[in-house]
């Protein structure tokens, strides 16, 4: 068993020391193209992101709503590949040695790439954790256990339908943090409500000492602040990706200032989290 990088645990310890929740930001690798996507990715820590998630583009992202589906298709059309996504991760790690970095996506592209090759390259790129949406605990032998043995955190999703009977199974072999999906349905389609989130976080805390982050449905700095207070961190994905979309021309090419507009929005979310 190889120890993990320690970056995720160190970040949550630092947040606790600061007395605030964190901001986790999601962007799709290579959206709208490699150059602008790279500029956005590398700018996220300075804009206020505490933890960064990179989406691995996939043609059939079943848990994602229209915004992230479109982002994945934009990235793939622009030539994004797993090799390029891992190259972006490597560049991010070189620029930001302390910011936790998580890859999020689906198993098919990883399987196609090769699990052993993928984990070796993920480790080499300095990735701290994986979120693989369509691999349940019953399939841990496929990727979860090899990842944990390699020292890469495997972060599991819990949902409003994950009851107390199911939670121990979901949390087995989970490390880094727990990602609570606040709504029933796909990403970016419903508004998040803080009160149900508080109740859910309290319930999950009875089963684990891991930090709990909450996402799906956060669109405003106020919502990010409320959820970061109710949990250990708030995750914003679809709203950031949609900010990319609104800064494209009619042909889908990025307008001048696209990356800055996205990073300015992230800075506003970070301000909401920091109060």
* Residues with catalytic roles: 53, 64
Closest CA to 67 of 158, 186, 181: 186
Phi and psi of 154, rounded to 5°? Answer: -115, 110
For residue 62, what are the contacts with CB-CB under 8 A and spacing of at least 6? 106, 133, 134, 186
Pairing of strands 157-158, 153-154: unpaired
Distances (CA, A) of 23 to 79, 128, 144, 234: 29, 16, 25, 5
Is the distance from CB of 28 to CB of 78 less than 8 angstroms? no
Helix ranges restricted to H, the chain? 7-18, 34-47, 66-77, 82-95, 107-113, 115-125, 144-150, 167-171, 194-205, 221-230, 238-245, 258-274
Q: Is 198 exposed, middle or buried (0-12, 13-18, 19+ CB in 10 A)?
A: middle
Distances (CA, A) of 258 to 22, 42, 116, 192, 263: 25, 14, 36, 27, 9
């Amino acid at each position: 068993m190889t120890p993990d990088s320690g970056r995720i645990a160190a970040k949550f310890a630092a947040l606790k020391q600061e007395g605030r929740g964190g901001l986790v930001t999601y962007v799709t690798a290579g959206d709208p193209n490699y150059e602008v996507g790279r500029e956005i990715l590398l700018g996220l820590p300075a804009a206020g992101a505490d933890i960064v998630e990179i989406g691995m583009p996939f043609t059939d992202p079943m848990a994602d709503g229209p915004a992230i589906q479109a982002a994945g298709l934009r990235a793939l059309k622009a030539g994004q590949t797993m090799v390029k996504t891992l190259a972006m991760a490597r560049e991010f790690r070189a620029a930001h040695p302390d910011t936790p970095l998580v890859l999020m996506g689906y198993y098919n592209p990883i399987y196609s790439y090769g699990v052993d090759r993928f984990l070796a390259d993920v480790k080499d790129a300095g990735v701290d954790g994986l979120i693989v949406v369509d691999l349940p605990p019953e399939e841990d032998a496929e990727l979860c256990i090899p990842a944990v043995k390699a020292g890469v955190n495997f972060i599991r999703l819990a949902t409003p339908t994950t009851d107390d009977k199911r939670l121990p199974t979901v949390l087995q072999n989970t490390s880094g943090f727990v990602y609570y999906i606040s709504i029933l349905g796909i990403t970016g389609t419903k508004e998040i409500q803080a009160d149900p989130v508080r109740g859910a976080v309290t319930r999950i805390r009875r089963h684990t000492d891991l930090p709990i982050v909450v996402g799906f449905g956060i669109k405003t700095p106020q919502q990010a602040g409320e959820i970061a207070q109710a949990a250990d961190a708030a995750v914003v994905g679809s709203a950031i990706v949609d900010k990319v979309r609104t800064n494209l021309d009619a042909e889908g090419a990025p307008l001048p200032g696209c990356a800055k507009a996205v990073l300015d929005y992230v800075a506003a979310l970070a301000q909401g989290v920091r109060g």
